[in-house]
Amino acid sequence: MVAYVVDAVRRAGVRRPLVVVGPDSGSVRTALGDGVDFVVQREPRGSGHALMQAMPRLGGGAVALVVNGDMPLVSPETLRALRLSVRNGAAAAIAAGTPAETPPYGRIVRGADERFLRIVENADATPEETAIREVNAGFYCVRVAEMAQALRRIRPANRQGEYYLPDAVNVLATDGREVAVVSVSDPDELAGVNTRADLSAVDAILRRRVLERLMAAGVTVLDPVTTFVDDTVKIGRDTVLHPGTFLTGRTVIGSGCVVGPGARVHASTLGARVRVWDSWIEESRVGEGTRIGPYAHLRPGTVVGRQVEIGNFAELKNARVGDRTKVHHKSYLGDALIGTEVNIGAGTITCNYGLDRRKHRTTIGDRAYIGSDSMLVAPVRIGRGAATGAGSVVTKDVPPRRVAVGVPARVIRSLDGAEQPPRRAKVLAGGRRTGERSRVRANR
């Protein structure tokens, strides 16, 4: 939630925002990363007290934007308008709006000449003041030196026992300093989050904004009500989003794609003309013209080439798949390097987890043919143009253009037509008591 506020402040021209946090703020610091600075407010004693903690970091001659962290719909345009008012001579500027339903915010009290007089908090307002519909949005721009003086004069003489930032604004107005009021044109900006119901309502507004922006840019959204797209997602023109689609994280989708129904794509990149339905893709890359689904799962680290077909119940993890390869049915390919124009038969498994408790790689060369129900016990390499028979358990490398079958699999012939002669091995069998040994020849 606060990340939206930080983003708006940055877009309004602030290079490095300063965020006031409580002592238990690890999750906030992690979410915002290294691009902001932090000030700790040891006790939650109100918005004025929070600004007091930040004052030593702001500099005496600076102009500062002050924004509540629980109002994620604030726009950069409103913040720029506040800053402009202060640059034009006001000691402070506040944002205000008149929503259809008046929230429990502070009321803007004006004089007969419409000049700003004071802000009165909802909890402390008289019935006459409660009837005022113009409310304080919670966004300010102040001259730091003058605000520092005003903050020293406020007291927690209210029902909450807190230091209110609006009280410091009122001190400026009482002293005859100009306090400008900037009207917020979009009432959605006034939405703050105090409850989970508020959070859900704000989230719905953000989702609607994202989808409207995408549709204006040439993306078709068939059912906005059931389509969820983060504002971090980028989508190319002429892509179609079907119902039940969830696009999250820093996902990039190319032009002319068809995504959904029932697709989930997280932190992944899809090239142009990709088709995904009823599948889950996370932290992966997919080349142009590839078809995925239904019911496929691309797990982190997967890279899929162009014009690949990945079908029903195929699962890939940390796998690289070459162009025009087909993985159609019920397969698991983990820690695998798969070449171009490979056919993966139904039920193929790369057995990547060894007795040494480590993951091992399977490599499959270009134009290889993997028979149905093959088990490739890594580390193992299937050569270019090689093939495995149905139900094979491959424990040793298969040379290029060779066919391996059986349990365990052995090479039986070349795909060029030559039969592979059986390899013979000597097996020594020991005698019972005499220690004599006899040689027994057996096919390996």
CB 50 within 8 A of CB 20: yes
- State CA 303 to chain mean position distance: 18
Peptide bond into 261 cis (omega under 30): yes
Between the alpha carbon of residue 196 and those of residues 189, 193, 200, 207, 328, the distances in Å are: 18, 8, 6, 16, 43
Q: In the numeric block, which tokens belong to residue 223?
A: 């059912």
d(CA 326, CA 349) in angstroms, rounded, equals 14
| Distance between CA atoms of residues 339 and 85, nearest Å | 62
Q: Give catalytic status of residue 329 as yes or no.
A: yes
Q: What 8-state DSSP symbol labels residue 310?
A: E
- Kindly state the tokens that stand for 229: 């797209």
Q: Residue 125 phi/psi, 5° resolution?
A: -80, 145
Q: How many CA atoms lie within 13 A of 361 on its CB side?
A: 9
- State the catalytic residue, choosing from 49, 266, 328, 329: 329
- What is the C-alpha separation between 92 and 104, in angstroms, rounded? 23
Burial 84-94 (b: 16+ CB within 10 A, else e): ebbeeebbbbb
Q: For residue 11, give the amino acid letter.
A: R
For residue 334, give the amino acid letter. G
Is residue 359 within 8 A of residue 336, CB to CB? The reply is: no
Tally of CA atoms within 13 A in the half-sphere of 145 that contains its CB: 4
Full DSSP string of 251-294 = -EE-TT-EE-SS-EEES-EE-TT-EE-S-EEES-EE-TT-EE-S
**Residues taking part in catalysis:** 329
